[in-house]
Structure 1
Amino acid sequence: MNVNITAGVFTLIAAISSFTVMAQTSSLLNASFDVARETFAAVNPKFVEYWQQQTGQSIKIDQSFAGSSRQAQDIIQGKKVDVVTFNQVTDIDALVERGILAEDWAQRLPHNSSPYYSTITFLVREGNPKNIKDWDDLVRDDVSLVFSNPKTSGNARYSYLGAWLFAHQKFNGDEAKIREFVGSLLANVENFPTGSRGATVAFAQNGQGDVLLTFEFEERNILASPEFQDQSFEIVVPPSSVLAEFPVAVVDKVANERGTQELATAFLQFLYTPDTQRLLSDFNYRVRDPAIVQEAATRFDSLKLINPTEVLGSWREIQNVHFVADGVLDQLQNTPRS
Structure 2
Amino acid sequence: MRIPWLNIVAVAAAALAVAVIIGKNVEGRAAHHLLNVSYDPTRELYQDINPLFAAAYEKETGSSIAIKQSHGGSSYQARRVAQGEEPADVVTLGLPSDVEALHKRGLIPDGWSERLPNHSQPYHSTIVFVVRKGNPHGVRDWVDLLKPGVEVILPDPKTSGNGKLAALAAWGAIVTRGGSETEAREFLRALYDHAPFLVAAARAAGVAFSVERKGDVHVAWENEALRETETSKGELEIVYPTVSILAEPTVAVVDTNAAKHSSAKQAQAYLQFLFTPEAQEIIAKDGYRPVDAQTLARHARRLPAIDLFPIAAIARDWQDAQQKFFSENGIIDTVYTPKPRTE
Same fold, judged at TM 0.5 (above): yes
Q: What residue number does 2:21 align with?
A: none
Q: What residue number does 1:142 align with?
A: 149
Q: What residue number does 1:262 align with?
A: 265
1:310 and 1:129 map into 2 onto residues whose CA distance is 32
Alignment partner for residue 41 of structure 1, among 30, 43, 47? 47
Q: Segments of 4+ in structure 1 off by > 3 A?
A: 10-14
- Within 5 A, what are the aligned runs for 1:164-313? 164-172=171-179, 174-225=180-231, 228-229=232-233, 232-313=235-316
1:191 and 1:80 map into 2 onto residues whose CA distance is 31
- Within 5 A, what are the aligned runs for 1:46-61? 46-61=52-67
| SS of residue matched to 1:123 | strand
Q: What residue number does 1:122 align with?
A: 129
The offset of 1:265, in angstroms, is 0.5
Tell me if the contact between 2:89 and 2:255 (Cα under 8 Å) persists in the aligned partners. Answer: yes
Q: What CA RMSD, in Å, does the superposition of the two structures yield over aligned residues? A: 1.7
**Per-residue displacement from partner, 1:273-323 (whole Å, max 9, x unpaired)?**
001101111111111112212211222222101111243112111111110
Q: Percent identity?
A: 36
**Per-residue displacement from partner, 1:53-86 (whole Å, max 9, x unpaired)?**
1111111101101111111111111121100111
1:41 and 1:151 map into 2 onto residues whose CA distance is 27
1:284 and 1:176 map into 2 onto residues whose CA distance is 34
* TM-score (ref. length: structure 2): 0.88
Tell me if the contact between 1:34 and 1:68 (Cα under 8 Å) persists in the aligned partners. Answer: yes
Q: What residue number does 2:14 align with?
A: none
Name structure 2 gaps, 5 residues minimum. 8-29, 339-343
Task: Figure out how many residues of one structure are paired with residues of the other and give that number.
Answer: 315
Tell me if the contact between 2:3 and 2:272 (Cα under 8 Å) persists in the aligned partners. Answer: no
1:59 and 1:334 map into 2 onto residues whose CA distance is 45
* TM-score (ref. length: structure 1): 0.90
Of 66-75 and 102-111, deviating more is: 102-111
1:323 and 1:257 map into 2 onto residues whose CA distance is 32
Residue identity in the other structure for 2:151: S
Q: What residue number does 2:18 align with?
A: none
1:10 and 1:55 map into 2 onto residues whose CA distance is 13
Q: What residue number does 2:167 align with?
A: 160
2:304 and 2:122 map into 1 onto residues whose CA distance is 20
Tell me if the contact between 1:115 and 1:288 (Cα under 8 Å) persists in the aligned partners. Answer: yes
| SS of residue matched to 2:71 | strand
Name structure 1 gaps, 5 residues minimum. 1-5, 15-23
Of 175-184 and 268-277, deviating more is: 175-184
Q: Which has the higher contact order (CA 8 A, sep 6+)?
A: 1
The offset of 1:333, in angstroms, is 0.7
Residue identity in the other structure for 1:134: D
The offset of 1:106, in angstroms, is 1.0
2:248 and 2:45 map into 1 onto residues whose CA distance is 16
Residue identity in the other structure for 1:111: N
